[in-house]
Amino acid sequence: MYYENIKESADFILERIDEAPKTAVILGSGLGGVVDIMTDKTVIPYEDIPNFPRSTVPGHAGNLVIGKIGAQTVAAMQGRFHYYEGFSMKELTYPVYVMKLIGVENIIITNACGGVNRSFKPGDLMIIDNYINFLGQNPLIGDNDERLGPRFPDMSEPFSKELLEKAEKAAEKLGIDYKRGVYALFNGPCYESAAEIHAYEVLGADAVGMSTVPEIIAANHAGMKVFGVSCVTNMATGIAKVKHSHEEVVRVANESSTKLCEWLKTMLIDW
């Protein structure tokens, strides 16, 4: 049933576009502006796609936008799904498998995060080198459909070296300064306590956020090449001198979005 649902969503999308995208971008909080640099756009609201989940968070528009960046046809998910919204891990990774069935091979996953590494500052962009899943949940729990991926996927290299090199080249060309680090997934929706952040810091996290890891796991399961980039919107609890607010997270993400868009655009144009 699960596979048939995914196939139905994918077929619905394929019927509405001329060329299937090879690359998809998942846009995090306040980073939806990537769609502004796309041309020849087809906008498909999530609510129109059969079986597709619906966004509930401000800052997440809830559209699948397929269009061109340079010569490439790209699918942008303007709005993603989070565990804290009440979605199951299977539901929130559902779109990754839909991307797979429309022919996507490369997936770029973005997010807003809190900086745990004390050398970071709000506005920094961080290439995700690795992740820690602190959730104790996994989207692959349950029956495995071999048409989507193997039962026990390897996770020794969750991010594609090839995409990383493309990102590094593009950053160098644009003179973009970026960090690299480990992204830790916290369930949310409250921000972390200072003691939790201290624990994560000791355990090797550079950044913390409420998304991305389920999609990274699903995309690896589905055999896609993955690139992840985080926008540090605030320093994490206990390191930050002020209290957190979602409005501030979205504001800083919007500000950094210009830099991130330029970066992705250059990366995609020189593909």
> Is 208 one of the binding residues for ligand HPA (CB under 6 A)?
yes
> Is 210 one of the binding residues for ligand HPA (CB under 6 A)?
yes
d(CA 200, CA 73): 38
The DSSP output letter for 101 is H
Residues forming the active site: 29, 60, 82, 84-85, 112, 210-211, 234, 246
- CA distances to 104, 209, 222 from 178, rounded to whole Å, are 26, 18, 28
Span 108-167, contacts to ligand HPA by CB under 6 A = 112-114
> Is 236 one of the binding residues for ligand HPA (CB under 6 A)?
yes
Interacting span for ligand HPA (CB under 6 A) from 55-63, 107-115, 177-185, 198-206: 107-115
Interface residue with ligand HPA, options 85, 124, 192, 215 (CB under 6 A): 192
**Nearest-approach distance from CB 118 to ligand HPA, in angstroms:** 14
SS3 content of the chain, % helix, strand, coil (to 5): 35, 25, 40
Strand runs labelled E in the chain: 23-27, 39-45, 63-69, 72-78, 106-115, 125-133, 179-185, 207-209, 225-235
Q: Between 101 and 235, whose beta carbon lies closer to ligand HPA?
A: 235
Strand runs labelled E in 186-257: 207-209, 225-235
Q: Between 176 and 240, whose beta carbon lies closer to ligand HPA?
A: 240
Cβ neighbours of residue 188 under 8 Å, at least 6 residues apart?
Answer: 82, 83, 84, 210
**Nearest-approach distance from CB 16 to ligand HPA, in angstroms:** 32
> Is 24 one of the binding residues for ligand HPA (CB under 6 A)?
no
Footprint on this chain of ligand HPA (rule: CB under 6 A): 112-114, 186, 191-192, 208-210, 233-234, 236, 244, 249
